[in-house]
Amino acid sequence: MRLLLIEDDPRLANRLAVRLASDGMIVEHVPNAEDALKISDFESFAALIVDIGLPGIDGLAFIRKIRATGFAIPILILTARGNWEEKVDGLNSGADDYVVKPVRAEELIARLNALLRRASGQTGERLIADGIELDLQMKVAVMDGASIELTQIEFRLLQLLLLRRGHILSHAEILDQLYPAAKGREPNTIEVNIARLRRKIGKNTIRTVRGLGYRLWR
């Protein structure tokens, strides 16, 4: 999944980006809210991670500003203080959850996965739809009760299709969510991985919507 991290501590930002990348997430980083507000395609991010104590426009003011424009995707805040007043301020400003510094990457990933599940209408610990089940923590895939062996990119592609179930995903959206800007951008990358995934979960499970993209169909 493609995430935007807004954090002014470069060492923390780098550590989180590396750890999130190892879990299959694509992380773009900016050090302040002013740079984040210059980004025109917020809708392409699966979630935002926002430090409250940003220089200039602080994290809470930034969240209120983008929520006022109708931006609805999940936002997780990072706070250096664990007092309840700051947590309440963050949630009242439009954040969906929070992690207290020092940040444990495992907790951050667990909370992000929970936010993504809720955003897709699922509340359990796994993504489940029409006989397909993904355990996002253990990276295990099951279909109709049988385990499926998936590569990392196939798992991430199926995760994206499940999270956006019922929606058509364009070629460009899939590229943005699964690959860093400088990697894996060959024109047939998506078609190759869709074909491989179809061989494992059924050729009719992923439908091609001509001229628009792909959707999960079971």
8 A C-beta contact, residue 78 and residue 56:
no
Q: 3-state DSSP call for residue 100?
A: strand
User: Which domains does the chain show, CATH number per domain?
Assistant: 2-119 (3.40.50.2300), 127-216 (1.10.10.10)
Q: Model pTM?
A: 0.72
The whole-number pLDDT of residue 13 equals 96
The whole-number pLDDT of residue 27 equals 93
pLDDT in tens, 163-217: 888 788 888 888 888 877 655 567 688 899 999 999 999 888 899 998 889 998 7
What value does the mean pLDDT take over residues 12-36?
93
The whole-number pLDDT of residue 187 equals 62
SS (H, E, C) 49-72: EEECCCCCCCHHHHHHHHHHCCCC
In the DSSP assignment, the letter for residue 213 is: E
Residues 6+ apart with CB under 8 A from 76: 47, 48, 49, 50, 95, 96, 97, 98, 99, 108, 111, 112, 115
pLDDT in tens, 64-122: 999 999 888 899 999 886 667 777 888 889 999 999 989 999 999 989 988 988 887 76
Mean pLDDT score of the chain: 87
pLDDT in tens, 137-164: 788 999 988 999 999 889 989 998 988 8
The whole-number pLDDT of residue 163 equals 84
Length of the chain: 218
Rounded Cα distance, 197 and 70, in Å: 35
The whole-number pLDDT of residue 185 equals 61
pLDDT in tens, 188-197: 888 999 999 9
Structure tokens at 37: 């507000």
The whole-number pLDDT of residue 122 equals 67
Rounded Cα distance, 113 and 203, in Å: 28
The whole-number pLDDT of residue 123 equals 58
